[in-house]
Amino acid sequence: MGQPVASRGQTATPTLGKAMLNKYARAFFTRVLTPFAAFLIRRGVSPDTVTLLGTAGVVAGALVFYPMGEFFWGTVVITLFVFSDLVDGNMARQLGRSSRWGAFLDSTLDRVADGAIFGGFILWYAGGGDDLVLCAVSIFCLASGQVVSYTKARGESIGLPVAVNGLVERAERLVISLVAAGLAGLHKFGVPGIQYLLPVALWIVAVGSLVTLIQRVVTVRRESAEAEAAAQGEQDDDDEQQNASHGSEAAT
């Protein structure tokens, strides 16, 4: 999972790795992982390969462990592969590469990783977890997360800034869900009552995602109306100038 931006290796919107590591931790791990990134470059490994392997690890961790109720170990595996997000960006910076393809691949695989994580929850609650309500909540989290991302991308594609910080965006969705899942997994190690953290977290993510979706839709509607009003104003100004010009020509 890389960085969904115009060019990999530059400042980016939070992705799975960035969601789990604050800016100070990122700076630390970036320094630590720089020699490893350089080693991979010398071995001929590309940033895209690291991105693909990182996503594969997240998908495996989510879809192998979560459906079995092994939330602790699944989260451990996912967290380990999260570091690929820092490694591929580091490699891109060292290579001096920035490409639209890299940005597209990163953004696309981020959606795959998100789907796998919430898909793992869905499979658990539809199976061994035996809770259709939480299964439905997990489905809503998966779907709403994809739609929230789509609304911003679609708004930007039609020339709107979509200038809104939603209540629960991708970083918050992932941190809340993964931290709760990891802690809930400690129930199997004898920690009492902690298994209820994950259901609570899923409800928080579901409600927060719905609020965020509404925020983005309202923002796009407002920005669209403002853009159309501005365009109409420019058109009216042009018409007035043309009328004034025609009047001057008629007077002469």
**Cα(122)–Cα(140) distance, integer angstroms:** 10
Q: In whole angstroms, what is the distance from residue 26 CA to residue 20 CA?
A: 9
Is 48 annotated as contributing to ligand binding? yes
Q: Is 238 a catalytic residue?
A: no
Distances (CA, A) of 153 to 50, 149, 150, 183, 217: 25, 6, 5, 33, 12
Amino acid at 122: I
Amino acid residing at 243: N
Residue 49, annotated as binding a ligand:
yes
Identify the DSSP state of 185: G
110 annotated as belonging to a binding site for a ligand: yes
Contact (Cβ atoms closer than 8 angstroms) between residue 134 and residue 199: yes
Query: Residue 61 and residue 55: Cα distance in Å, rounded?
Result: 10
Residue 106 labeled ligand binder = yes
Given the residues 110, 114, 131, 239, the one annotated as active site: 110
Place of tokens 């290579």: 95
Both tokens of residue 234?
């420019």
Contact between 8 and 88 (Cβ < 8 Å): yes
Residue 127 labelled as part of a binding site? no
Query: Is 131 marked as a binding-site residue?
Result: no
Q: What angle do CA 195, 198, 204 make, to 5 degrees?
A: 145
Number of Cβ within 10 Å of residue 149's Cβ equals 20
Confirm whether residue 237 is marked as ligand binding: no
Question: Please, are residues 137 and 198 in contact by the beta-carbon 8 Å criterion?
Answer: no
Q: Which residues are annotated as a binding site for Mg(2+)?
A: 85, 88, 106, 110
Q: Which residues are annotated as a binding site?
A: 48-51, 85, 88-89, 93, 99, 106, 110
Q: Which residues are annotated as a binding site for a CDP-1,2-diacyl-sn-glycerol?
A: 48-51, 89, 93, 99
Positions marked active-site: 110
